[in-house]
């Protein structure tokens, strides 16, 4: 007979946060390939009418669930709590492959404090899950700009146990040094590492092991806003669906015109598209006026939904963004 006084083994939770386009999915995909991160269930919180990130994680995790059309720090918080509860019961009933941890990838506008509060206050969630690590990606190219313009930036940085500076291979060295100073000033207790391109971050895979936050003293950030204290900016999200683009060149030219016209008010463009005469599906990514090189969708990832772009903007209506542009 089980000892009723024995402590319950709680499932570690890794919270992955960071601003829009800061490289959360790229980092997560690399980390999940490591043996130390095996047996991870992933909850992806998408902002937008069409989910993309679970396509990019195809094959990296046995169990990936998508929470769409809401930010888990506010409107979709009940969905997150319900998903965690459902994961626990399905794991217990062996309806899912066994997982040793849960990784939650938030939207780029998420305030981590609300999520941490839910994990600590929801009865079943608090009983069966333990926050192990808050991991925050910081865009080395746009980080200084985001620190001044996006209120969620500071909330995410201050909540983190570990900070990963992404895109350091293309960042200005002076700006990168200034950004590192800012991060160390705002969160001196956090681990700070650099990441370049698609390469995994050396030494970070060990963070997925069950120690995490519980192995260090709790972080205290007096300047960190409390749950509910930070309102999101006006964020507009919409999806555009279309058939195959005439060519890569025409698609890239259309996106370049949109980015040039609206600049930093286009917070993010992401999608999966097809091009006439090409059997492959292509992943489109753009952040704050910079269009990344199109990459082919991973082998085996479902491409039947290809032919969409999701726009996340700072209050721009759909008609102003598109304005006669055709894909």
In a domain, 182, yes or no: yes
pLDDT of amino acid 130: 86
| SS3 of residue 327 by DSSP | coil
Q: Is the pLDDT of residue 126 over 60?
A: yes
30-39, 65-74, 238-247, 289-298, range with the lowest pLDDT: 65-74
Determine which helix (DSSP H) or strand (DSSP E) holds 227, and give its type and residue range. none
- pTM (two decimals): 0.71
Task: Summarize pLDDT for 112-121 with one digit per residue, the tens.
Answer: 877 887 888 8
Please compute the mean of the pLDDT values over residues 212-236 and round it to a whole number.
43
The verdict on 174 and 307 lying in the same domain is no
- The last residue of one of the domains, among 183, 215, 247, is 215
pLDDT of amino acid 28: 83
In a domain, 245, yes or no: yes
pLDDT of amino acid 57: 42
Q: Domain limits at 80?
A: 11-215
> CB–CB of 79/72 below 8 Å?
yes
The verdict on 211 and 240 lying in the same domain is no
CATH of the domain at 172: 3.40.50.300
The verdict on 160 and 259 lying in the same domain is no
Distance CA 244, CA 176 (A): 39
Q: Left if phi > 0, otherwise alpha if psi is -120 to 50, otherwise beta: which for 195?
A: beta
pLDDT of amino acid 219: 35
What ranges in the chain are assigned the alpha helix state H?
Answer: 24-32, 53-56, 77-92, 112-121, 123-128, 143-149, 151-159, 173-186, 248-262, 318-322
The verdict on 71 and 42 lying in the same domain is yes
Q: What's the burial of 13, exposed, middle or buried (CB within 10 Å: 0-12/13-18/19+)?
A: buried
The verdict on 165 and 245 lying in the same domain is no
CATH of the domain at 282: 3.30.1220.10
Distance CA 235, CA 170 (A): 28
- Mean pLDDT of the chain, nearest integer: 76
49-58, 261-270, 295-304, range with the lowest pLDDT: 49-58
Kind of pairing between the strands at 308-313 and 281-287: unpaired
In a domain, 50, yes or no: yes
- The last residue of one of the domains, among 158, 186, 215, is 215
The verdict on 105 and 181 lying in the same domain is yes
Q: Is the dihedral of CA 246, 247, 250, 254 positive or negative?
A: positive
What residues does 297 pair with on adjacent strands? none
The verdict on 203 and 297 lying in the same domain is no
In a domain, 96, yes or no: yes
In a domain, 151, yes or no: yes
> CB–CB of 169/196 below 8 Å?
yes
In a domain, 225, yes or no: no
Distance CA 257, CA 250 (A): 11
What residues does 14 pair with on adjacent strands? 103, 133
Q: Is the pLDDT of residue 139 over 90?
A: yes
The verdict on 72 and 185 lying in the same domain is yes
pLDDT of amino acid 65: 60
The verdict on 118 and 85 lying in the same domain is yes
Please compute the mean of the pLDDT values over residues 242-250 and round it to a whole number.
87
In a domain, 223, yes or no: no
The verdict on 253 and 207 lying in the same domain is no
Which of 54, 85, 55 has its CA nearest to residue 67?
A: 54
Task: Summarize pLDDT for 5-63 with one digit per residue, the tens.
Answer: 555 688 888 899 999 889 888 888 888 777 777 788 888 876 544 444 444 444 444 44
In a domain, 4, yes or no: no
The verdict on 47 and 147 lying in the same domain is yes
- The last residue of one of the domains, among 215, 247, 282, is 215
The verdict on 113 and 155 lying in the same domain is yes
Q: Per the structure, how many domains does the chain have?
A: 2
Please compute the mean of the pLDDT values over residues 279-297 and round it to a whole number.
82
Q: Which two tokens stand for residue 308?
A: 């969409």
């Amino acid at each position: 007979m089980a000892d009723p006084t024995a402590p319950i083994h709680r499932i570690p939770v890794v919270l992955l946060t960071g601003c829009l386009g800061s490289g959360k999915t790229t980092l997560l995909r690399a980390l999940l390939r490591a043996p130390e991160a095996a047996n991870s269930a992933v909850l992806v919180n998408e902002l937008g009418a069409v989910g993309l990130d679970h396509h990019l994680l195809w094959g990296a995790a046995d169990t990936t669930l998508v929470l769409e059309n809401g930010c888990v720090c506010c409107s979709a918080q009940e969905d997150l709590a319900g998903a965690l509860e459902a994961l626990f019961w399905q794991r217990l009933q062996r309806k899912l492959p066994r997982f040793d941890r849960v990784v939650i990838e938030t939207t780029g506008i998420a305030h981590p404090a609300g999520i941490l509060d839910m994990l600590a206050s929801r009865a079943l969630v608090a009983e069966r899950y333990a926050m192990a690590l808050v991991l925050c990606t910081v865009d080395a190219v746009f980080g200084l700009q985001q620190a001044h313009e996006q209120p969620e930036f500071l909330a995410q940085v201050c909540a983190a146990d570990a900070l990963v500076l992404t895109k350091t291979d293309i960042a200005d060295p002076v700006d990168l040094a200034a950004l590192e100073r800012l991060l160390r000033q705002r969160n001196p207790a956090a681990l700070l590492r650099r990441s370049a391109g698609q390469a995994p971050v050396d030494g970070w895979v060990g963070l997925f092991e069950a120690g995490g936050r519980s192995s260090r003293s709790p972080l205290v950030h007096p300047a960190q806003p409390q749950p509910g204290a930070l309102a999101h900016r006006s964020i507009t999200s919409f999806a555009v669906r279309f058939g195959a683009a005439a060519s890569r060149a025409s698609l890239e030219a259309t996106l370049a015109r949109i980015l040039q016209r609206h600049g930093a008010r286009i917070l993010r463009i992401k999608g999966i598209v097809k091009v006439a005469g090409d059997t492959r599906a292509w992943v489109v990514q753009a952040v704050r006026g910079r269009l990344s090189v199109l990459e082919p969708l991973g082998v085996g990832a479902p491409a039947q939904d290809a032919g969409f772009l999701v726009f996340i903007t700072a209050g721009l209506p759909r008609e102003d963004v598109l304005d006669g542009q055709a894909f």
